Amino acid sequence: MKYLSPTSLFGGVLVPPIDKKAIQLGRKKLLAELELAGGDTVSVNGKAYDKNEIIRYFEELLAENSLEYHNAVSEDNALLQFVQDQRLEPGARFARKTIYEDPAFIRWISPYYSLSYWQVIHEAFENSDDLTMATLMGLPLLMSVPDQEKIWTDIARLIGGEIDLLERYFETHRRQVAKWRESNMPATAIADIMTYDHIRLLCLLPESRFAELRNKYAFAMMQASIVTFNRHRGKRDMCETWITNARTLAAARELKYQISEKLDEFRGIRKRRGPVNFRAIAIVVIALNAGRLLFSNSTDTTTVFKDAPVIITNAPKDSLLRAFQDSLNRQHPEIPPSSTPLNPYH
């Protein structure tokens, strides 16, 4: 049920604190306007209310302590905006009121408060808005225990859905052979839920309640990072960021250590250069020299190619010839790094 302030209902005519006499006069005026208009509903803050809803609302206003509670809300702009407009500005704080600790007040406001709490959390998850989540977690829980349990259960459901997505991504990549990779779930499908902002949002939730889910989420992130790291060389920077965020999310010390080991493996693999096959290089050198010798013995021309440099260009990076090419270039620094071999006849 969405909260409706009496001041909003009366179009701002009534100024808090509102008393019962003002409520009774306002009720007569609103019902009279509804009857004169000949319609079935009246619109307040963009929402339509029929005659029966208006009568019930005024009956609730005249109930015991109701006006006191409404006046308390109307005096706190941050709380009023939260329960009525379901909005929360980053950094907002409620006023310090002893009535907020009153069990009767909490029971009264809980239906309105829990609805706004649910709405703000869903928007924060959708937008990875960790600033709003941090603000929300710093507010008092003006909800009954059953309503709190509903909120935590719903948050667990949201987190569970994201974990399921990560696990499906891992499974599709693990099972597919190389020629079927294009049919895998793309990395973009999971990228948004592994950003730093989204992980910080999860870390802001009560650890006593969500530690187990955080561990499960972090493990699924690690698996997704590993399979992407192994399959896609071009995404290894991103994978290192993912697994770093997974370490931040993990609540268990043992899992943090396991993820740290994988992160070290990532960094080690990225720094490691492929071993040079000296035997293959030796064979190439011998073959080139043999070719030069045969060529020089089979011609009568006076042109001499003594000490002519051997040109190897555009050798593939990390290939067997690249190391040999680098060594030749060091021996002949005058050879320009051109994509076209130099012509020794010119």
Please determine, for residue 165, whether its predicted confidence score (pLDDT) is greater than 60. yes
Across the chain, mean pLDDT equals 80
241 vs 262: CA distance, rounded Å? 12
99-150 pLDDT, tens per residue?
A: 999 999 999 999 999 999 999 999 999 999 999 999 999 999 999 999 999 9
Percentage of the residues of the chain whose pLDDT score is greater than 70:
71
Q: Which residues contact 186 (CB under 8 A, 6 or more apart)?
A: none
258 vs 334: CA distance, rounded Å? 51
Instruction: Sort 40 into a burial class: Cβ within 10 Å, 0-12 / 13-18 / 19+.
Output: exposed
Strand partners for 61: none
168 vs 150: CA distance, rounded Å? 27
308-341 pLDDT, tens per residue?
A: 444 445 555 555 555 555 655 555 444 444 443 3
Report field, pTM of the whole predicted structure over 0.75: no
